[in-house]
Amino acid sequence: MKIYGLIGNPLTHSFSQQYFRKKFQRLSITDSDYLNFEIDNLFQEVFSLKQNKDIQGLNVTIPYKTDIIAYLD
């Protein structure tokens, strides 16, 4: 399963998961899912996200929009 998602905290305001899940369904994309990753500490948790080979791409929102740049490859 390919995983896409959103990193941020808090994510209760986000409509991304609902939007992308509906889009995948509408386009008959059955091998992918979109998850919210509400994380408390980017430094501690980004490495485990990077180790997950199922994660294909992530969007980033507050408060990590600029801090994530140090971890991009």
Residues annotated as catalytic are: 65
Long-range contacts of 44-49 (CB under 8 A, 24+ apart): 46/71, 49/7
Residue where the block lists tokens 């998602």:
5
* Spatial distance between the Cα atoms of 36 and 61, rounded to a whole number of angstroms: 11
Q: Does a cis peptide bond (omega within 30 degrees of 0) precede residue 10? A: yes
